[in-house]
Amino acid sequence: MDASGDSAAGATKRKAPSAAAAGSKPKGKATSKASATAKESSLLKQKSPAEFFAENKNIAGFDNPGKSLYTTMRELVENALDSAESISVIPDIEITLEEITKNKFNTMIGLVDRDRIDEELYDDFESTKAREKRLAKEARFQETQAKNAALGKKVKEAPAARGKGRGDAAFFRVTCKDNGRGMPHDDIPNMLGRVLSGTKYGLRQTRGKFGLGAKMALIWSKMSTGLPIEIKSSMKGQKFISFCRLDIDIHKNVPHVHLHEKRENKDHWHGAEIQVIIEGNWTTHRSKILHYMRQMAVITPYAQFLFRFLSDSADKNLTIQFARRTDVMPPIPLQTKHHPSAVDLLLIKRLITETTKQNLLQFLQHEFVNISKSHAERLIGEMGPDFSAKMTVKSLTSQQLVRIHQLFRQAKFDDPSGNCLSPAGEYNLRLGIIKELHPDLVATHASSPQVFEGHPFIVEAGISIGGKDVKHGLNIFRYANRIPLLFEQGADVITRTALKRINWSSYKINQQQDKIGVFVSIVSTKIPFKGTGKEYIGDDITEISSAVQSALKQCCLQLKSKIVKKLQARERQDRKRNLNRYIPDVARAIMDTLGEIADESPPKRPRYDKEDEELLEKVNSQEVTEMTFRDCLTQHVEQVDYEMALEYAMQSGEALECFHKGEIPLESAAAAAELARDFAPEIECRWGDAGLEEIMADRSIAGVAVVLAGQVQVELSLKMLKAGKHVIQEKPASESTTEAETALSVYNSFPSQFPYKPIWALAENYRFEPAFVESRKLMNDIGDMMNIQVIIEGSMNSSNPYFNSSWRRNFVGGFILDMGVHFIAGLRMLVGSEIATVSSISRHVDKALPPPDNICSLFQLENGCAGVFVFAVNSRSPKILWRVDGTKGTVQIERGIDSGKHGYQVLFSSENAQCQKTFYPFCGVNEELKAFVHDILQANKDGGHKAEPRSSYVEGARDVAVLEAMLESSAKQGALVQVKKL
């Protein structure tokens, strides 16, 4: 003790003598600390990409647990879509969010829950005073609610108590399974465990925003739960499934693999399944997640999504299936080269480093778009004497690179094409809107490729009116490179355009009261996102804002014509309803008046003409009653209603919807007349409403050929028939069987005001081709039919005069219906039996054609025989063939050429193996016109003449019914469909 005491005393003495000495020691310490700090601050430090995004996770959309759950799910879904589309497989994606409570999570990682010891230490601790204050507030709220209930006022729900911290946040196991490409076994660790490494880099249209994908979900998992991610993957034809469990070393940006092995692939599955456990908040972002899935189903109707939310609370469980509506997929986006006007100095240097071209001329030609050899030579000549075409590109100095960059910014270049882009497609967008919203009206428009800052872009727009789960007012759905944008909507170019630049009322749309869905999708090699999270497209690029406005206006114009038509129909219905309401009273009044006149004494001088006298006699004899007048008045109202509807359609231009606008300019009609006169100088041409009225009023015109766009032929044919003209209408008979049935009903209701029934013929030359007429006779010699084959490999390409017909591209069923009626007519003519049922699959392969362009259908005749109908609209080796095999022989018809003449080769194989070949040149058009003229002459002589049945409108409608059933079956993935009988 003494020793220690002395030591202590000694120490005290050494500190006491000098105040200066005592003060100098701390100063030395402060100086050394400052020096160390300065030295430390001068050291260079590096951060890995993974570390950067971990510290700035809000940039990638991981702002908070709820947003992180949403972003994780979104990234996995988009990766799954990319994977399936990359191998042209229709996506089938399953997403499961499984809620894991804190206790369950602790059990999972082996952490034992402990009771609280110091309650005041926790963020949710409530003091006695705070508890009393809360209870008093709840009591006052309950008292107010009781008073409101007594007064019959609306009772509000009690506000939910909110926690202060993140202690109650739940954990979620997020699983996404797809049927896509899968990942190579050895690449899995780097593909998911190394930030800024992947397969999607390059100049192309991509769904991603940062190129992070599932990697950011792995980083968030590492930060919030510390648990690894699990991956199962198998590629097509692979006999094993790769299984990998890994996490990421954030500081080194390298994968940390826990397990990587190959497992047996018994089911021959291909695709990927990724499972990650993260912290999240379902309550705050439930609506965003479901809204995202719904929007994704709109823009990708060819994909099938199964979304499940699983929880220990059964009432929170949720399963939603977004069914596939079509198998028409957009083409795969192509990688393209940079446009000279869009490159910067750094990019030019990188391209020079990576290029395989030796000299400057080759470099300019092959590393940039829209620079031809001659253009490159002109550019090199403009650069100055220091440049030559053959100079080594890698020898360019910094000053020379600056010169090239300056010239690129000043020179004129052709705009890049949009061939590298892959929009959803107007067809898919319309289908998606109809599938998810079920609107009353919908219009879509796709712009042609446009350019901003050297980058091509395409705008697709859709507007719907009405529908389920749609709020009143504008409901805006935004897409960038076919992914939904859900956040920061107010500053987006799409939102601002819809709110401020579209005068909705001028298109008969009520912006406040109508349920309006506004859908705009922008695809580009570069989406000009704004903000750190890249959640909206800026409104500062004139080219994009103008294109969005133009696309929306085109949709509005389409809707306006439909809305006006709908309003007109409603007015007609109201007028018809009002007229029908008074028919009983009017009929009774007429009958009473006529009865009084009939009961009067016969006048000395006749006061009525012969017809009136006959009417009075019929009234007296009760041959004419009140019901007679009711029937006559009802029939008259129906006829007037139809005439007014048809008159409106013709005057408003609705009958010419094959054009984007509602009318054909008079200049176009005049030009057509000039062309006609060049062909036949004596021809008399009339056009417009006045010309149409002149033709209908001209009694010297007995027959009319209606050869117009398929969408308008039926209306004009009926108007001509009503005027007493015999009509031969170009195929197809109608757009649908519903239209055909309605048209036939109207036709049959026409009053008998002419001495004959006007003939309504359909121009289907296949039923008049000698090859089919003679082959039908041979069918009697082949015995019972065993099977039938119809193989159509068409040649509908840019060299075909019908290829660019706008009405065919906007026609329901496209070329399949327009061309297909010929081949169905030939089939029905040959077999002599109606088609009863069909089961079909269709595809859209050639994107230059409207969908679908391929269909394969199994069909069964009413007599029980089955066959196959295969139709490809465009093929490199055209072939058209019908073949029927029977128990005693075979009949085959094949299109071909013989001695320079086009026609059909008929092959008949008999029971004794003899083969008979006969060639029949085309002449069906002449034969059908001869039959039509013959029928006109006979009908004018004999009102009871029966027209040629092969050219009847009903036959053409039956052809349409078969193809409509095939298309319906393909839309239902091959389901058996009954052919409608007409």
Domain ranges of the chain: 50-108+168-322, 340-410, 575-758, 765-978
Name, of 367-371, 486-490, 918-922, the range with top average pLDDT.
918-922
What one-character DSSP code corresponds to residue 590?
H
What pLDDT was estimated at residue 703? 86
What pLDDT was estimated at residue 215? 84
Higher pLDDT, 513 or 3: 513
What pLDDT was estimated at residue 4? 42
Question: What is the token pair recorded at 151?
Answer: 């007064």
What pLDDT was estimated at residue 139? 87
What pLDDT was estimated at residue 468? 82
How would CATH label the architecture of 50-108+168-322?
A: 2-Layer Sandwich (3.30)
- Is the per-residue pLDDT at 643 higher than 60? no
The residue ranges of DSSP E strands in 35-77, in sequence order, are none
Question: What is the token pair recorded at 277?
Answer: 């456990």
Q: Are 61 and 212 in contact (CB under 8 A)?
A: no
Q: Which residues, including other chains, have CB under 8 Å from residue 485's CB and lie 6 or more apart?
A: 478, 479, 492, 535, 536, 537
What pLDDT was estimated at residue 159? 62
Name, of 133-142, 255-264, 562-571, the range with top average pLDDT.
255-264
What pLDDT was estimated at residue 213? 65
Report CA torsion sign: 820, 794, 660, 430.
positive
Rg (CA), the chain: 39
Q: Do domains 575-758 and 765-978 have the same CATH topology?
A: no
What pLDDT was estimated at residue 687? 62
What pLDDT was estimated at residue 804? 67
The β-bridge relationship of strands 866-872 and 977-978 is: unpaired
What pLDDT was estimated at residue 14? 41
Torsion of CA 613, 615, 619, 620, to 10 degrees: 20
What pLDDT was estimated at residue 678? 45
764 closest CA partner among 808, 716, 818, 704:
818
- Give, for 50, the enclosing helix (H) or strand (E): helix 49-55
User: Confidence class of residue 665 from pLDDT cuts 50, 70 and 90?
Assistant: very low
Give how far Cα 949 sits from Cα of 7, 703, 831, Å.
Answer: 131, 18, 16
Name, of 84-88, 304-308, 563-567, 646-650, the range with top average pLDDT.
304-308
Name, of 606-620, 650-664, 773-787, 805-819, the range with top average pLDDT.
773-787
So what CATH class is 765-978?
alpha beta
**Angle, CA of 290, 292 and 298, to the nearest 5°:** 110
Name, of 31-45, 425-439, 638-652, 834-848, the range with top average pLDDT.
834-848
Higher pLDDT, 555 or 619: 555
pTM exceeds cut of 0.75: no
Give how far Cα 721 sits from Cα of 215, 515, 798, Å.
Answer: 69, 41, 37
Distance CA 969, CA 161 (A): 54
% pLDDT > 90, the chain: 34
Distance CA 730, CA 811 (A): 15
905 closest CA partner among 738, 720, 784, 775:
775
Fold of 575-758: Rossmann fold (3.40.50)
User: Confidence class of residue 103 from pLDDT cuts 50, 70 and 90?
Assistant: confident
Q: Are 383 and 360 in contact (CB under 8 A)?
A: no
Question: What is the token pair recorded at 693?
Answer: 């009225």
- Is the per-residue pLDDT at 357 higher than 80? yes
pLDDT single digits (tens) 42-75: 667 778 888 888 888 888 888 889 899 999 999 8
Higher pLDDT, 656 or 617: 617
What pLDDT was estimated at residue 771? 94
The arithmetic mean of pLDDT across residues 323-347, rounded, is: 85
Higher pLDDT, 698 or 784: 784
Give how far Cα 469 sits from Cα of 295, 303, 439, 517, 556, Å.
Answer: 13, 21, 10, 11, 22
pLDDT single digits (tens) 502-517: 999 999 999 999 999 9
What pLDDT was estimated at residue 809? 72
Distance CA 139, CA 135 (A): 6
> Any bridge partners for residue 175, and if so which?
96, 275
What pLDDT was estimated at residue 674? 47
Mean pLDDT lowest for which of 122-126, 185-189, 648-652?
648-652
pLDDT single digits (tens) 701-750: 888 888 888 888 898 899 899 888 899 999 999 988 988 998 898 888 88
Please, what is the end-to-end C-alpha distance for the chain in angstroms?
Answer: 121
| Helix, strand, or coil (residue 266) | coil
- Is the per-residue pLDDT at 834 higher than 50? yes
558-577 residues labelled b (16+ CB within 10 A) or e (exposed): bbbbbbbeeebeeebeeeee
What pLDDT was estimated at residue 30? 59
Q: Which CATH number fits domain 340-410: 3.40.640.10, 1.10.300.10, 1.10.8.50, 3.40.50.970?
A: 1.10.8.50
Identify the burial level of 601 via C-beta atoms within 10 angstroms of its C-beta, where 0-12 means exposed, 13-18 middle and 19 or more buried.
Answer: exposed
What pLDDT was estimated at residue 519? 95
What pLDDT was estimated at residue 639? 67
Question: What is the token pair recorded at 719?
Answer: 């108007």
Distance CA 203, CA 368 (A): 11
pLDDT single digits (tens) 10-48: 433 344 444 444 444 455 555 666 666 665 556 677 788
- Is the per-residue pLDDT at 649 higher than 60? no
What pLDDT was estimated at residue 162? 52
Higher pLDDT, 163 or 224: 224
Task: Give the up-direction half-sphere exposure of residue 851: CA atoms within 13 A in the CB hemisphere.
Answer: 23
The arithmetic mean of pLDDT across residues 289-307, rounded, is: 92
- Is the per-residue pLDDT at 385 higher than 70? yes
pLDDT single digits (tens) 481-538: 888 998 888 889 999 999 999 999 999 999 999 999 999 999 998 888 887 667 889 8
Distance CA 543, CA 493 (A): 11
The β-bridge relationship of strands 915-921 and 977-978 is: unpaired
User: Confidence class of residue 169 from pLDDT cuts 50, 70 and 90?
Assistant: low
The arithmetic mean of pLDDT across residues 388-409, rounded, is: 90
- Is the per-residue pLDDT at 965 higher than 80? yes
pLDDT single digits (tens) 268-283: 999 999 999 999 999 8
Higher pLDDT, 642 or 337: 337
State the chain's mean pLDDT as an integer: 83
What pLDDT was estimated at residue 11? 39
